[in-house]
Each structure stands twice: as structure tokens, then as C-alpha cells.
Amino acid sequence: MVKTKLLYIGGYGRSASTLLDILLSNAESCIGLGEIQNLSNYLDVGGIRCSCGEDFEACAFWSKVFAIYEANDIYARQNLVKLQDKQGWSRLLRYGFRMRSKQTESTLRYFYEALFKAAKNSENVQVIIESSKSSHDSVARPLILASECGLDVTILHLVRDPRAVVYSILRGSNQKIEAGQEAQIPFGTVRALLGWCMANLGCYIAGRLLGKGRYMLVRYEDLIEHPTDVLKKVGKNVGLDVGPVLRIISQSTLLEVGHHVGGNRMIRSGTVRLRGDIEWQQSMSWIKKLAIWCFVFPYALLFRYSPLPDINHSEKGRYRPSSHN
């Protein structure tokens, strides 16, 4: 198999991975595809569309991927669904002992071969951006893709202040808000904090296991405050020409949204913003901020978050993605 480049955005949800995915997908010879891991689930359940507005079955890009992928195996899609929850912590531990899985190897390898073939046929794509992150069922995914599928993987670990993440999660489930349903998440604070710790620990370990030069940490706060510097650094580390993205930022022109899977409401709202979300700083009590910091303090030190933050994010711009008809 030809070595292909995959930039995997890892970390916890509500950390602006969709924004980073969209930003980088506007780089030269690059395509952003979002939460690819959830694709088989969305196809199975139905009702969720590609960011281009079409059903995945009818989407110009994903229909091409599935035509190639299913050409030789009518059970290909079912095999992909079976793998949905087999890329979590147990696989991460097995990876440490170099235990491979033949089924995962062939299923995912064929799927990504189809993915890269479709991407290269439509444009001269050299790099694919995936933002399946590092939840309990995807934490080992970048390692599986590198070791068992032969992909050239680099992890971009996106981390955001845990207090901002808790505040965002307490607003409720994105999908339910979008559907106009009751969105409150039971035990939101505890679940958010445990999830944040586990996902960031898992992503950090996966980066170490992947090897030198294949892991880079990006803090959401740095991306918002200094987007040009951060994107230049990412481009240099992963061999990506981010010139087109920097021009978009400096000229406030359109950010293009392609065929992303999943992501938050922003991706389907027609508006992409690059600005700090600091509502949590004014709305959250100092006691709660301090309590959350104490709960996660080893991580807070590792990722450079102070006990009582005073970040003053300024609005950097507002972008409207072009529509795909």
C-alpha cells in the first residue's frame, strides 16, 4: 500500500476540533473529513447528513468512497460497523504489547485505501484531516491506522481549558440542541471532567507510542489568540502548506467546508467563527473554577492552565463558509 498522510486531531470533545479541522482542510492539497469513525454509525442509524447537506449515500464524495470500498466485499459496511467500539483503551493496552488484530487490519486498510483513492481522484489530495478525537472508543484509532493499516499518521493533540469544556457540556448535547430536544446531560460536570482527563491522557500516551515527530500539542487558547503562529507551526511540523489558510485569516474571506462527518452545529449553520468563547469566564464562579483546576491539577500543570485564569480573547474574525450544491 502506498504511504499516505493522515493528520489525526485527538483530545476531548468541545475543544474546537471541528474548527481546527475546517481551518486545516483549507490548506494546500488537503481535505478535512471530520469524525470518520462515526460514519458507519451514522449510516446505520440514518438521519445525519454530510456537511455538504446531502445524505452520505448521495454525497458526491462519500458515495464514491463506498462504491470503491464495497466493490469486492458486500459485507464491507457491516464489518466497519462491528469495529465501531473496538478501538478503545483495551486496544491501546494491547498495542503496547504489540498485539495486532487481523480483522481490524483488513477492514480499516481497505476502507482507507478507498478513501484515499476517492480523494486523489477528485483533487490532488496529499493529506487527509480526521477529527475522530480520543474518546473511550477511539483512543487507539490513530495507532491502529498507523500500525495495522500502514498509514503515515501524525497526532495533533488539541486541548482546551477543562473549565471551558465543563461549561460547554453543561449547555447540553449538541445533537439534541440541534434537534430542539431536552439537551441536559445527567452528571454533566463529573462526566466532563473524567472524560477530559481520560481522553487527554489517552491521546498523550498514543502520541508517545506513535513515536518521535508524530505528535504535536495545540492549545485551543493559543490557536484563538495567535492563529497565524500556531498554524505555521503545525504546517512546519506536519509538512503542510498552510499559506491558503493564513490568507483566509488575514483577508477575512470564506472558509470552505467540504464533506465533513459529524462535528458541532457550526458546521451546518453556514457560519464559522474564529474567536474565543469566554462566556464561561464571566459566568462560572471562582470557587467552581478553582475546584475544577484542583480536580485536574496534574494535567492543568502539564497543559499550562492557571488556577484562576484571566484570558482576554479578542474577536479575530468571522467567516462564512461557501455552500456546496
Dihedrals φ, ψ of 151, to 5°? -85, 155
**Shorter beta-carbon distance to Zn ion: residue 59 or 129:** 59
Residue 75 and residue 291 in contact, taking contact as beta carbons nearer than 8 Å? no
Nearest approach, Cβ of residue 54 and Zn ion (Å)? 5
The site string for Zn ion over 117-136 (x = CB under 5 A, - otherwise) reads: --------------------
Q: Smallest distance, Å, CB 62 to Zn ion?
A: 6
- Under a CB-based contact definition with an 8 Å cutoff, are residues 260 and 18 in contact? yes
Torsion of CA 190, 178, 62, 27, to 10 degrees: -80
Q: Which is nearer to Zn ion, 59 or 144 (CB)?
A: 59
Q: Which is nearer to Zn ion, 59 or 274 (CB)?
A: 59
- Least Cα distance to 274 among 219, 227, 321, 240 occurs for 227
Q: Which residues pair with 102 in a beta bridge?
A: none
Asked whether position 5 contacts Zn ion by CB under 5 A, the answer is: no
3 state DSSP class of 258:
coil
Sheet holding 152-159, edge to edge: 30-32, 127-130, 5-10, 152-159, 215-219
- Identify which range of 50-58, 83-91, 109-117, 152-160 contacts Zn ion by CB under 5 A: 50-58
- Asked if 140 touches Zn ion (CB under 5 A), the answer is no
- Is 259 a binding residue for Zn ion by CB under 5 A? The answer is yes
Residue number, 12 or 56, with CB nearest to Zn ion: 56
How far is CA 232 from each of CA 106, 152, 203, rounded to the nearest angstrom?
A: 36, 20, 22
Q: Which is nearer to Zn ion, 52 or 249 (CB)?
A: 52
Judged by beta carbon, residue 5 or residue 259, the one nearer Zn ion is 259
Residue 50 in contact with Zn ion, rule: CB under 5 A: yes
Q: Specify whether the CB–CB gap between 126 and 30 falls below 8 A.
A: yes
Owner of C-alpha cell 492539497: 29
Which one among 52, 119, 223, 242 touches Zn ion, defined by CB under 5 A?
A: 52
Q: Does 261 bind Zn ion (CB under 5 A)?
A: no
Q: Which stretch binds Zn ion (CB under 5 A): 24-32, 52-60, 125-133, 188-196?
A: 52-60
In the complex, minimum distance from the CB of residue 129 to Zn ion, in angstroms, rounded to a whole number: 15
Considering only the stretches 20-28, 53-61, 191-199, 233-241, report the one whose residues sit in contact with Zn ion under the rule CB under 5 A: 53-61
Task: Choose the binding region for Zn ion from 7-15, 119-127, 241-249, 259-267 (rule: CB under 5 A).
Answer: 259-267
Site string for Zn ion, 182-211 (x = CB under 5 A): ------------------------------
Per DSSP, helices labelled H in the chain are: 17-25, 39-45, 62-69, 76-82, 89-96, 102-122, 141-147, 162-170, 174-179, 188-210, 220-225, 227-238, 243-251, 266-269, 279-283, 286-295, 297-302
Q: Which listed range, 105-113, 152-160, 218-226, 254-262, lies at the site for Zn ion (CB under 5 A)?
A: 254-262
The footprint of Zn ion on this chain (CB under 5 A) covers a number of residues equal to 4
Distance separating alpha carbons of residues 22 and 9, to the nearest angstrom: 11
Nearer to Zn ion, 206 or 266 (CB): 266
Stretch that binds Zn ion, among 80-88, 118-126, 199-207, 253-261 (CB under 5 A): 253-261
- Residue 295's Cβ-side half-sphere holds a number of Cα atoms within 13 Å equal to 20
Q: Which of residues 54-83 bind Zn ion (CB under 5 A)?
A: 59
Residues 258 and 3: their CA atoms lie apart, in Å, by 24
User: Would the CA dihedral through 175, 92, 103, 130 be positive or negative?
Assistant: positive
Residue 26 Cβ, how far from Zn ion at the closest point, in Å? Answer: 16
Q: Which residues bind Zn ion (CB under 5 A)?
A: 50, 52, 59, 259
